[in-house]
Structure 1
Amino acid sequence: MIDQTTRRLLPWLVAIGFFMQTLDSTILNTALPAMARGLNESPLRMQSVVVAYMLTVALLIPASGWLADRFGTRKVFMSAIVLFSLGSLLCALSSSLTQLVASRVVQGMGGALLLPVGRLAVLKVFPKEQLLRVLSFVTIPGLIGPLVGPTLGGWLVEVATWHWVFLINIPVGVVGCFVTSRYMPELLGGETRFDWVGFALFGTGMVLVSVSLQGMGEHALPLATSLVLLFAGLAAMAGYWLHAARSALPLFSLRLFHIHTYAIGVLGNLFARLGSGAIPFLTPLFLQIGLGFPPTQAGMFMIPTVLGAMVSKTLVEPLIRRQGYRRVLVGNTLLLGMMIASFALVDRETPHWMLLLQLAVFGVINSLQFTAMNTLTLGDLEPDTASSGNSLLSVVMQLSMSLGVAAAAALLAGFSDHGIAPQPERLLSAFQDTYICVGVLSMLAACIFMQLRPGDGDHARAPVVSVEEG
């Protein structure tokens, strides 16, 4: 029996976990140049710090529900907070890029479980008529984290050191552990079989393909090694596809791709997020290294993007109702790509008010894209496919954003002679060329959304729980 105190404090606890995750993902980007200086690395080669976390989250999301059902929500949520806090401490103690990347993997193991397990506890504790209100409250930190994260990260590296970008998670984690031990209910699920074979094949394929593409793009691995990893990853993905076709309970059912809107939505997410996922990594670097902004100012310039995203929430529903998903997604995808490419017009002479306006407009268009893609993708799922479909979409989102960061970093390194002390004007030009390429890459997703039929998604059922718009 769940008491009233637990019902009152559980949403706050889950919100704390979500806040830790979203704050960490945004506070880090502004601090990357300072971290690079502290580790004697080029700031153009720090993307592995971001990619390692995203890939780890993508890898472990599918197992989060099974772990919570098997070991209990309190144990798993507590373990998530401890891992996240321990990873944060290890990041702060790192003295090399290799150590920092390994520590980010530990941090990602905790981050992968925080929101899914917390959200599962909310679903089990609260009746359906209260879910919308409670889940809306839980996702508020998802807006606060990106709002304060970039500026806080810039301020911390100016008044202290980059280590505090990670150390700031420790007190939040201590509070989270205390509240979890007292107010997180220990909820167990039924005895369900987990597809460990599928999990191993899918995870191996995803990691190997990502590492191989990153290695080829950055010339960090010999070409032969990258090709071997690529083909091994593709073989693992093919193995998963064959396994899922004959398994009674696969990790992700292939039946999901028989749903027209889901198949288009997932593929569209994969390619559209390559561009938009690269911007939170690319823009703070551009502002500091390309335009010479101090870290705090660079962080503050990211605020209009978040404010624009908030404004878009009032626009998306009436726009889709009038124009339909096909027109909105095709048109907005092209507009998003052009908006990303427009940052190539920014230089040191650009007025600050114009750059702020550009970032705000990008925030509106980018958030509209996320909301439209997610509601299209999940809207036609039936109750028996909703959980698997939601989990796969979360994985695709994380994977696509990590590939977008890796692609942007590879382009930036290539245009700047692989980061070997380029001249300031050459470096500015490298950022501008990268924005153009990333924008064009994003526009290609419009080809996928063109496959929607008029009226697709119009009668979609609203999903009980939608993925967060990371």
Structure 2
Amino acid sequence: MTDIALAGRSIRVLGLTIALGGLLVVVDTTVTAVALPAIVAGLHTSLPAAQWVTIGYLLGLVSVIPLAGWAVERFGARRVYLTAMIVFTVLSLLAGLAWDVVSLAFFRFVQGLGGGLLTPVGTAIGLRATPREARGRLMSLLALPLAIGPVFGPPLAGWLTDAGSWRWIFLINVPIGLLALAVCRRVLPKDQPLAVVRSIDLPGLALLSGGAVAVVLGGTLLERSLGWLGLLAAGIGMLAVFVRRARRVPEPLVDLRMLEHRPFRAGLGVMACFAAAYFGTMSVLPLFVQGVGGDGVARAGLLVLPQAVVVAVFAQAGTRLIDRIPPRRIVLTGTTLGTAGAIALGTAMATDAGYPWLVAAAMVLAAGSGATLLPAMTVATRDLDHDQTPRGITLLTLANQLASATGGAAVAVSLSLLVSARAPEAGGVGGMLALEPAAREALRPELAAAVGAAYVIPALLLAASTLIAFRALRPVARRG
């Protein structure tokens, strides 16, 4: 067997190993939404209290990401990854054994701390160990969790809850986590921490983690009440202060000097705009199916399934081709498809064109996502050196999480305002889901127009990502 074949096999094994950890994290982001009614009944609590089981996990994820780059430098990437996997697995066990909703929410928060390190640290490990010319192949494997996790999670949670108990949506992580831990110990390359490690900027950590938590929390709760807008604004303000501070202190927690690297800056800009639009609208199609069409969760899940297949196919193709053809062509194709898909999807909803048209438009948007997000990350990171990689991945992951939360908040607020303005009789988004069939049918044109119009902001963000890709990813002309 040739050296190239051995390298290819090694990259495939490493990529799939890291992807398994990423899949655990992504699936656990989605499973509790389906199991919330069972959690409410099982722990004798209220729905608002049970929703903190999901919110706590998200807060844990985002609050620990700023420490990823420093932790890799201080302890070594392999050690940090294995520790994070242990924390995630042990806390999954404790979550499955929780005795009330407070303990469950707390265990989920700590579980999120472990999960928040798995993705950026695992990606850094993979990129460090992979030659530049093969990094697209690696990223195609790391794209698998994003493609199948959001679709695989809810059906799995429903089956486990119906067949056993809501506790199994957490307990199932234990054998999988132990398996992943054993495989990681054998596969992940050994490394050493840096001899000289920068000190932790504690004020910067307070500003960055506090601001990130406030943005995610405010954006998540904004759908319930516009009163949470102040918390979202405070979080954005703290992040702005952090950016100003990071440009002045000698050793900032997140190195914003990475933005001086043109491909990195371009990839981050494309990713942030696209992620805000794409992940911000993920709940809109299921909401249309249930609130406007009056169909159940099963139908909504079935209509979303083709998107997962398309994302997986285009992510695999895009990230593999990026090693062979100019990345600008791939990313521009993705952002253009995404923009066209969002416009088509919003138009199909607003005109109530029917489910076949909705699915077709959603597949175009999904194709754009597959051809944009991971290829843009590859563009941003493939020229980083060994020491820059964990810092770059930390900044990209944090920007992606914050953009997704902010995009989700923008879509939620606009959707709430549009439904209230176009169909005040519905009683808001929550009331729309609870309408009687006759009332829903009478309001259907107004409801469809309101939900479809929620795609205006995402379409503008996707158009912005296209403009960034067009201008910033141009090849630099050489002089002389």
Q: 1:20 aligns with which of 12, 17, 24?
A: 24
Report how far residue 312 of structure 1 moved.
Answer: 2.6
Q: Residue 361 of structure 1 aligns with which residue?
A: 364
Residue 199 of structure 2 is aligned to residue 165 of structure 1: no
Residue 340 of structure 2 is aligned to residue 335 of structure 1: yes
Q: Residue 423 of structure 2 aligns with which residue?
A: none
Taking the aligned partners of 1:99 and 1:55, their CA distance within structure 2 comes to 15
Equivalent residue letter for 2:395:
L
User: Is contact 2:337–2:368 with CA below 8 Å preserved after alignment?
Assistant: yes
Report how far residue 203 of structure 1 moved.
Answer: 1.5
Q: Residue 467 of structure 1 aligns with which residue?
A: none
Residue 201 of structure 2 is aligned to residue 196 of structure 1: yes
Taking the aligned partners of 1:207 and 1:155, their CA distance within structure 2 comes to 32
Taking the aligned partners of 1:123 and 1:260, their CA distance within structure 2 comes to 19
* Greater Cα shift, 82-91 or 394-403: 82-91
* Greater Cα shift, 301-310 or 58-67: 58-67
Taking the aligned partners of 2:392 and 2:377, their CA distance within structure 1 comes to 11
Unaligned ranges ≥5, structure 1: 461-470
User: Is contact 2:20–2:180 with CA below 8 Å preserved after alignment?
Assistant: yes
SS of the residue corresponding to residue 365 of structure 1 reads helix
In the TM superposition, what are the counterparts of 1:131-210 in structure 2 within 5 Å? 136-137=140-141, 140=144, 143-146=147-150, 148-180=152-184, 187-190=191-194, 191-197=196-202, 198-210=204-216
Report how far residue 98 of structure 1 moved.
Answer: 5.6
Report how far residue 447 of structure 1 moved.
Answer: 5.8
Q: Residue 274 of structure 1 aligns with which residue?
A: 276
Q: 1:248 aligns with which of 247, 250, 257?
A: 250
User: Is contact 1:218–1:413 with CA below 8 Å preserved after alignment?
Assistant: no
With a CA cutoff of 8 Å and minimum separation of 6, indicate the structure with the bigger relative contact order.
Answer: 1
Q: Residue 463 of structure 1 aligns with which residue?
A: none
Report how far residue 111 of structure 1 moved.
Answer: 1.1
Q: Residue 419 of structure 1 aligns with which residue?
A: 430
How many residues end up aligned between the 2 structures? 450
User: Is contact 1:202–1:236 with CA below 8 Å preserved after alignment?
Assistant: yes
In the TM superposition, what are the counterparts of 1:191-340 in structure 2 within 5 Å? 191-197=196-202, 198-215=204-221, 217-219=223-225, 223=227, 227=230, 229=231, 232-258=234-260, 262-263=264-265, 265-284=267-286, 286-287=288-289, 291=293, 293=295, 295-313=297-315, 314=317, 324=329, 328=333, 331-340=336-345
Equivalent residue letter for 1:175:
L
The 1:288–1:159 alpha-carbon spacing in structure 2 relative to 1, beyond 3 Å, is: farther
User: Is contact 2:60–2:116 with CA below 8 Å preserved after alignment?
Assistant: yes
The 1:383–1:226 alpha-carbon spacing in structure 2 relative to 1, beyond 3 Å, is: same
Unaligned ranges ≥5, structure 2: 1-6, 420-426
Q: Deviations over 1:335-382 (max 9, x none)?
A: 2431442463587x945x555444433321332342464456557867
Equivalent residue letter for 1:439:
Y
Q: Residue 87 of structure 2 aligns with which residue?
A: 83
User: Is contact 1:29–1:280 with CA below 8 Å preserved after alignment?
Assistant: no
Report how far residue 277 of structure 1 moved.
Answer: 0.6
Taking the aligned partners of 1:256 and 1:12, their CA distance within structure 2 comes to 28
Q: Deviations over 1:90-125 (max 9, x none)?
A: 444557766554333222111112233334444566
The 1:108–1:279 alpha-carbon spacing in structure 2 relative to 1, beyond 3 Å, is: same
Taking the aligned partners of 2:306 and 2:290, their CA distance within structure 1 comes to 17
Equivalent residue letter for 1:366:
S
Taking the aligned partners of 1:323 and 1:74, their CA distance within structure 2 comes to 33
User: Is contact 1:27–1:152 with CA below 8 Å preserved after alignment?
Assistant: yes
User: Is contact 1:72–1:188 with CA below 8 Å preserved after alignment?
Assistant: yes
* Greater Cα shift, 301-310 or 417-426: 417-426
SS of the residue corresponding to residue 20 of structure 2 reads helix
Equivalent residue letter for 2:88:
F
Equivalent residue letter for 2:117:
L
Q: Residue 4 of structure 2 aligns with which residue?
A: none
Taking the aligned partners of 2:21 and 2:106, their CA distance within structure 1 comes to 22
Cα RMSD between the aligned structures? 4.6
SS of the residue corresponding to residue 419 of structure 1 reads helix
Equivalent residue letter for 2:71:
L
- What is the TM-score when the length of structure 2 is the normalising length? 0.73
- What is the TM-score when the length of structure 1 is the normalising length? 0.75
The 1:235–1:142 alpha-carbon spacing in structure 2 relative to 1, beyond 3 Å, is: closer
